[in-house]
Amino acid sequence: MKPYQKIPIEECGEPLVPIPQEHFVVELPHPYEKLGATYGKRSPYYLRQGVIDALFRAQFFLNKRNPGWRLKIFDAYRPVGVQQFMVDYTFNSIVKQKGLQAQKILPQQKQDIWEEVYQFWAAPSLDPKMPPPHSTGSAVDLTLVNEKGETLDMGGEIDELSPRSIPNYYAASPILQEQQLHRRRELLNQVMSHGGFHRHPGEWWHFSLGDQMWAWLNQQNNLDNQVIARYGRV
């Protein structure tokens, strides 16, 4: 169990609705669908209505600071089945990267790989008290696109299993190019914070609003503020 999963949930019943894709940049077909993940009746580009409203606030703030810039949404709603698919896909990818054969992996090797997987991926739990963040419709993975329509280099790929995924990885770098990467990450964080989101402490691209992680991060900033989550698994 991760610390944020201890936060209680009082589901508000807000609907899960399509993201108006004409106002943001999206990738079609969706990256996980390209890998073979199936979403059923809902698209990956769904979120709770209140989260979409917050995205519009963040987009407006970004465009005010940097005219023509837009948010590029990589991933949003993720059913538990897709969460399971991506966890398994990541495990198998690590096995291949290490040059291992699935049938010959030692128990300790398997445990080490699973620990690596779950460092970045939430467990695909069906327990209503511990939903994966994306399965609540209140978490979004995204990046920045400039006025030329170019996706900016943020110093690491989304979903990258690497220390570079830590938001402040480049914060103390003396290299000018890496300082720019940090400034871009901070701009994304400032823009999303303006909308009411909180950033995942280990992933520069992951932001949430209203789920357990968001409530837990609120409490870390103010220990006297007992916040509960308002979005559970959809």
Over 48-69, what HEC string results? EHHHHHHHHHHHHHHHHHCCCC
CATH of the domain at 104: 3.30.1380.10
| Amino acid at the residue 23 | H
Q: For residue 41, is pLDDT > 90?
A: no
Amino acid identity of residue 147, one-letter, is: E
Whether 233 maps to a domain, the answer reads no
What domain range includes position 205? 3-221
Which pLDDT does position 233 carry in this prediction? 97
Residue 139 covered by a domain: yes
Assess contact for 54 and 142: CB atoms under 8 A.
no
Nearest to 44 by CA among 70, 73, 22: 73
Specify the pLDDT at position 192. Answer: 98
- Confidence category of residue 104, pLDDT binned at 50, 70, 90: confident
What is the pLDDT averaged over residues 209-226? 89
Q: How many domains does the chain have?
A: 1
pLDDT at 149 over 80: yes
Could you give the residue numbers annotated as active site? 203
pLDDT over 90 (residue 225): no
Residue 65 lies in a domain: yes
**pLDDT for residue 220:** 87
Q: How confident is the model at residue 131 (pLDDT cuts 50, 70, 90)?
A: very high
Is the N-terminal amide bond of 128 cis, ω within 30° of 0?
no
114 in a domain, yes or no? yes
Q: Which two tokens stand for residue 76?
A: 């949003």
Spell out the residues 6+ positions from residue 122 whose beta carbon is closer than 8 angstroms to its own. Answer: 2, 83, 132, 133, 134
